[in-house]
Amino acid sequence: MRQKFDPQSYLGWTSPTGRKIIRQYREKYKHISETLDNNLPILDVVDQALKKLSQGGEDGRKAQYTSENILRALIVHQIEGTSLRETMIRIAESETLRNFVRLGSREVMDYSFLDKCFNAIGPETWKSINDILSAYASDNKLIALSTIRTDTTVVEANIHYPTDSSLLWDSHRVLCRLLRTARKRAPELLENRFHDKKVRKLHLFITRYAASSGKQRKREVKRGFRKLLGHVGRIVGIAGEFCSAAAGEIDVKLMAIAAQIEGFLPAASKVVDVVSRVVIDGEKVPAAQRVFSIFEQHVELIKRGKRNKPVEFGHKMILTETKEKFIADYDVLEKQISDSKLTEPVVDRHEGLFGLAPETLAADGGFWSGEEKMESLRERVKTLAVPKNVRDWANKILPKWQRFRAGIEGTISVLKRVFRLMRCLYRGFKNFASSIGLGIFSHNLVCLNSCSRK
């Protein structure tokens, strides 16, 4: 059974001496610790999520680390911007961080255990935690919820740039690797040859000459694609037959390999189908019907009109921020939605969380939702600073609020550079959304430190 916190706390913080930058570092963690102590419902929510990891045994043995230790270690991991392995080293070697995590005289936890704990805390839990912190900040007059600004950004997934040939090669090499592992346990089920070198050579040839403008070279590339599609399609068929045959086996490890293959098969089949339609048939396939990674099958292609980055692969998220740079609300969109359809939901969520609609909402022109809908929103929001076109800038009030709106761009930059929301390194959409929730929660804890000193 896991305790929420230690009844006997480890006392003492490092004395506030030393250079200014060190004192500021210690004070930051001390203030975050006090904020967490003032929000015990946060610990209740985290403890509930972690119960699945430790149900306790017949002997009544207690878990070595409390829910509080785990939550604080994850916060250190996010604020320090280090890997889980490096985070454990820093906590072990820093008296300030040991005091913050409240480990006492115990050894630090293993980084793989902390990874399991992160997986157990879902995105809904992080949203609940952020809502509790927002209510605390509002009740203590640390933030003003009457004036907010909103914007969207994209958090990229950890995938390579997808091309037709690279997706085919990924499908082939991964399925072959798993099938070879299975053949060691059941040779009678797999007597096929896989021809890895031929497939890799075709992939490299296509990659090298795909952009060629010569007619002869284009014909050679198309011919290479036909051969590559044949090889990958064959492996997909073999993998499907193996999964059917392995269903009747009693070997647990063989069944586990078959389950892994079944996880990749739908994406690999879709890749073969889409590449065949695009390259061989000359069809235009919309992005919604494509797969951009067989490892991160949830990833979307997003175009935002950026000159230096025309397309991004990840997920869109929307942020709502107060003038104190505190993120009062956020949402990670599994399927992208136009900004113009998000304006009303922003007001609805704000009203649902805090009981009142904002007095002022500032956003860029992409959030213009049409005259009829904007008129209905004006009845709820006193100042709706969303420009329709360039002529709106002639209004004396709008430029002032648009300068206020521009402040959220700085927060987005900080989230991406400091709190690691540039690229998500976790796998699966659930963990993708959880990492964003942890990043925003950590940002808000640091932000409250600044708010309380004003």
CATH number of the domain encompassing residue 334: 3.30.420
Q: Is residue 63 part of a domain?
A: yes
Q: Are residues 169 and 229 in the same domain?
A: yes
Please tell me the predicted confidence (pLDDT) of residue 135: 93
Give mean pLDDT, residues 157-167.
95
- Residue 137: inside a domain, yes or no? yes
The predicted model gives 249-258 an average pLDDT of 87
Looking at residue 152, what is its pLDDT?
95
Distance from C-alpha of 316 to C-alpha of 337, rounded to nearest angstrom: 8
- Does residue 8 sit within a domain? no
Question: pLDDT grade, residue 412 (50/70/90)?
Answer: very high
Decide if pLDDT at 365 tops 70: yes
Q: What is the pLDDT of residues 208-222, one digit of tens each?
A: 999 999 999 999 999
Indicate whether 344 and 367 sit together in one domain: yes
- Cβ-based neighbours of 127, under 8 Å, separated by 6 or more: 330, 437
Sorted by sequence, the CB contacts under 8 Å of residue 336 that are 6+ apart come out as 300, 302, 315, 316
Residues 248 and 216 placed together within one structural domain of the fold: yes
Domain co-membership, 379 together with 425: yes
Same domain, 192 and 269: yes
- How high is the pLDDT of residue 52? 80
Measured in degrees and rounded to the nearest 5, phi and psi for residue 311 equal -130, 150
On the question of pLDDT at 15 being above 70, the answer is: no
3-state DSSP call for residue 215?
helix
Residue 139 and residue 60 share a domain:
no
Q: Mind listing the pLDDT tens digit for each residue in 297-337?
A: 999 999 988 888 899 999 999 999 999 999 999 999 999 99
Among all chains, which residue has been given the structure tokens 């809908």?
Answer: 373
Q: What is the mean pLDDT of residues 24-39?
A: 92
Whether residue 12 lies inside any domain: the answer is no
Q: Could you tell me if 174 and 239 lie in one domain? A: yes
CA nearest 435: which of 40, 165, 84, 17? 84
> If you compute the radius of gyration of the chain from its CA atoms, what whole number of angstroms results?
26
Mean pLDDT of the chain: 90
Q: What is the pLDDT of residue 62?
A: 73
What is the model's pTM?
A: 0.90
The per-residue pLDDT for 234 is 94
Residues 169 and 274 in one domain: yes
Spatial CA neighbour of 54 closest among 107, 3, 119, 5: 3
Shared-domain flag, residues 116 and 130: no
Rounded to 5 degrees, what are φ and ψ at 361?
-125, 120
Looking at the domain assignment, is residue 377 inside a domain?
A: yes
Q: Are residues 44 and 68 in the same domain?
A: yes
Share of the chain above pLDDT 70, in %: 93
CA-CA distance, 289 to 271, in Å (whole number)? Answer: 10
Q: What range does the domain containing 202 cover?
A: 164-289
In a domain, 226, yes or no: yes
Q: What is the mean pLDDT of residues 226-243?
A: 94
Could you tell me the pLDDT band of residue 430, with boundaries at 50, 70 and 90? very high
Alpha-carbon distance of 325 to 447, in angstroms, equals 7
Q: Are residues 238 and 328 in the same domain?
A: no
- Give the residue from 66, 92, 121 where a domain finishes: 121
Residue 399 has pLDDT above 60, yes or no: yes
The 10s digit of each residue's pLDDT in 101-131 is: 998 888 999 999 999 999 999 999 999 999 9
Q: pLDDT tens-digit profile of 53-109?
A: 865 555 556 778 899 999 999 999 999 999 999 999 999 999 999 999 998 888 999
Domain end position, chosen among 245, 270, 289: 289
In this prediction, residues 128-135 reach a mean pLDDT of 95
pLDDT the model gives residue 22 = 87
Question: How many Å apart are CA 230 and CA 254, to the nearest integer?
Answer: 27
Indicate the number of domains in the chain.
3
Please tell me whether residues 135 and 90 are part of one structural domain: no
Indicate the helix (H) or strand (E) that contains 319.
strand 311-322
Q: Judge whether residue 454 has pLDDT over 60.
A: no
Chain position carrying tokens 């900040």: 137
Q: Once rounded to an integer, what is the mean pLDDT over residues 34-48?
A: 93
Q: What residue spans of 160-214 are helical by DSSP H?
A: 164-185, 196-209
Place of tokens 């004036």: 147
Which of 230, 264, 289 delimits the end of a domain? 289
Residue 171 and residue 169: Cα distance in Å, rounded? 5
Indicate whether 7 belongs to any domain: no
Q: What is the mean pLDDT of the segment spanning 255-261? A: 92
What pLDDT score does 452 carry? 60
Q: Is residue 13 in some structural domain?
A: no
